A and B are shown apart, each in its own frame.
Chain A
C-alpha cells in the first residue's frame, strides 16, 4: 500500500468511527424529541416498568422491558397540548426558570467583565492570590457552599426568596476565571496604541477589550446559562416554596410521576438552549481562545 492509500483508508476508518461516536452523543437529544410526539399510553407502555407505582395502573399495558423507542406508532401533539395549553403550571415553572437564570447570567457577565479586566491589567501578587482563592471557590461542589449559602441567606432574610439563588449566582467566579484568561491574551500593543490616542482606562475596556472578547463573552454566557438553567440542588435547599421552583426541579420530579409528559416538557425546556446553540455555536467554537493553563 502506498502512503497515500494508507492515509485514505485511515481517514475512512476515522470517519466511520467519528460518525458512530457522534451519533451516540446525539442519541439522547433525538430520543427526547422523538418521544415527545408519542401518546402518553405508548410512553407508559414502553417506559412504565421504570416506575413502580405505574404498575398499579391496570388500564395501560406495560411491557416488562424498558424499550428504547425512536419512532412513535402514532405521531401526536397530545403531550404538547397538555403541557402548553391544559396546565398553566408548566409555563409558570418555565417563567420561574427564566426569572432566575437570566438575571444570574446577565449580572454574572457584567461583574466578570470588570473583574477580569482588573485581573488582567497590572497583575501583582495580591491579585494573583485573590485569583487563586477564586479558583478554589469555583471548584467547590455545591454541597460545600451549601452551608455558607444557607447562613448568608438566613442572615439577610432572603431565605425562601429568589434572591437566595440569584445573589450568590451573580458573584460565582466561574466566568471571571475564563474571561480573565481571554483578556490576558489581548496584545499589549493595542492597549498602548489606544493610550497614545488618549484613551482612558475605561475606554480601553469598552473600546478594545469588549469588542475583542465578544466571542468569548457569548460562549461563556452560554455555559453559565446552561449551568443555571439546569439547577436542581439550590432551589431545593434555599426555596421551600415549590411555587417558586424552576422547571428544572419540576422536570426531575415529573419523571417519577407523569412520565407520559416528561419528554414534551423536556423539549419545551430545551427550546432556549437550542435557540442559543443555533445563534452561538460558532461563538462557542471560535470564542475559545483561552490559551489553557490556570493563571492565564
Chain B
C-alpha cells in the first residue's frame, strides 16, 4: 500500500520537477538577529545546480540572486517652488516597495535576462517596485518611482551587484549579500534564478528571518503592547538618570 502511495506522490511531484536543472541551496545563516550592537550582516549564499541529464547545449547557465525585505506602500512627495520657498506639492503612493532589495548576478543583468522574464519575475530593481496606482494627472509619475530607487540606493538599501555571483563548471555558485545596519524587521525572501539565453529555467525561493532579539525585542514589544507603561517607564528612566547624574555631579564638585 505504502509503495503505491509513494509511487502516486512521485507522479504528482513530477510536474514540479520538470525543470531539468534545479537549485540546491545553502545559506550561511537563515536568520539575522538584530541586537543592540547590530552593525549590518553579510549573508553567504551558495549552492549547486542539480541535473538528472547532461548539461544542455547552448549558452551557459547564469545565476541571479535577489534578496528582498518586506514590501510596503510608500508615499513619495515632490517639492516645488511656491512663493519663493520649496514646498511639497504632488505626492504619489507607490503601492509596494521592498524595504531592502539586493540583486547579485553572475553576468550583467541585461545580458542574462530578457525584459519579458524580468516583467514576469520582477527581478530588476525597477520591476520590484510597483506603482500601478500612480495618478495619471501627475506629471511624470515614473519620476516618483525612480525617486524611491534613487533615495534608497543612496541609503544602500537597494543595490544591484553585477558579476558578483561566482559560477564554477556551470554547477556550483556562491555570492554574499551585504545587509546594512539600518534593517527593518520581517521575513526577507531570497530568490535564486537560473537563466539560459535570457530565459528563466529554474527558480528557488527561501526565507531569511530578520528579527530583533533580546533588549531590542523587549523594548519594541513593550512599546507596541503596553504603550502607557512604556511611556511611564521612559519617563522614570529619564528622570532617574537626570537626578542621578545631577547628584553625582554635585557630590563630585563638593569634594
Partners in one complex: no
Interface residues of A (CB under 8 A from B): none
